[in-house]
Structure formats: structure tokens, C-alpha cells
Amino acid sequence: MILKSGKSEPLFVYKSVGEEVTSSTTLQNDDDLVIALKKNKVYKIDLYCSSRSSGSDIPNIKIQWTLGGTLTNIEGTCFNNGPGSTSSSAEQAENSQLRRTATNYSTVFGVLNTEAVSIKQTFFIDTGASGGALQMQWAQNTSNANGTVVEAGSFLIATEIKGV
């Protein structure tokens, strides 16, 4: 069942093929998880991401967002198993929250050796006068020859909740 926001139907993009990064901490655009947002709107964004390592718990994953237009506000929370078992609880707590105006701040998530973990991010974004493409970027948090994978079936939903 799809619930309407009263403004328009939710926008939805789906990752049909898994994507892997090895030996790189450089953020790269996800091939599929990008969505066009209209100007002067507020959207609720929901990311449901499945990620794993191809052979080690070490690399983890870092996620960051970019917006092709003007971003005036971003905030929210996200949940998963936390970044790696060696991280302190304070570091895990810090990494479980997106920061306000966080399009240039990466959030780190722990991944497991060959077993997928679920990452959920929910936040609100005010697109301002420009709008544009909201793009998920990601990379390994620690460079490692064992790949970090964003799996097929991950998806992104944008629901308009306010228009100007």
C-alpha cells in the first residue's frame, strides 16, 4: 500500500544490480541511488540500503549525500550495527546521526564479513530555490582489498511533504 502525502506520489529509485568498491576511500556516486527533487519543496527522504564486505569486517562503508541545487537543511537519524566492533560507543553514537547541513559529512556504518547489514537513513531536506538531483555517494571507510558492496534491492524514496 502507498500512502499519499497530500502533495504528490512518492519518488522511488531501486538498485537492480549490486555495486562493489575495493581499496578506495574516495566517495563515488552510486550508479542508481539518485533522485531529482523540485525547487522550493520539503521532502522526507528514506534510504534502505543493504551492504556487506566481500571478505573482511575491516573496510566498513561511509555514505554522504550531494544535491545539485541549493540545500538549506538536512537532518535525521540512521540505524544499523554501528561502525566496526573496535569503535568506541561514543564514536558509534556520533556516526548514527546525520548532521544538520550534512551534504559534505560522511556517516560511517559497520559491515560484516560476507553477511549483509541493513542501513536505514531518514531525513528531511528543504531544496530551496534550486532543487536538483539528490545523490548518494559512498566508499570504503578504510581502504581494503576486500570489497565493500551496496547490494541490489537497496532503494531510495522521496516524499514531498511541503511545497511553497
- How does pLDDT run along the chain (164 residues), one tens digit per residue? 344 445 578 999 999 999 999 999 999 999 999 999 999 888 888 999 988 888 777 788 888 888 866 555 565 555 555 544 444 444 444 445 555 544 566 777 777 676 778 888 888 888 888 888 999 999 998 899 999 999 999 999 999 987 65
Residue 4 lies in a domain: no
- CATH number of the domain enclosing 25: 2.60.120.760
Residue 1 lies in a domain: no
Residue 96 lies in a domain: yes
Residue 35 lies in a domain: yes
pTM greater than 0.95 (yes/no): no
Cα torsion 81, 149, 122, 69: sign? positive
Residue 3 lies in a domain: no
**pLDDT of amino acid 110:** 73
**pLDDT of amino acid 109:** 74
Domain count, the chain: 1
How far is it, in rounded angstroms, from Cα 114 to Cα 148?
9
Place of cell 537497496: 154
Q: Cα dihedral angle (121, 125, 130, 131), rounded to 10 degrees?
A: 40
The DSSP bridge pattern shows strands 19-21 and 97-98 to be unpaired
- Terminal-residue alpha carbon distance, the chain: 27
Residue 71 lies in a domain: yes
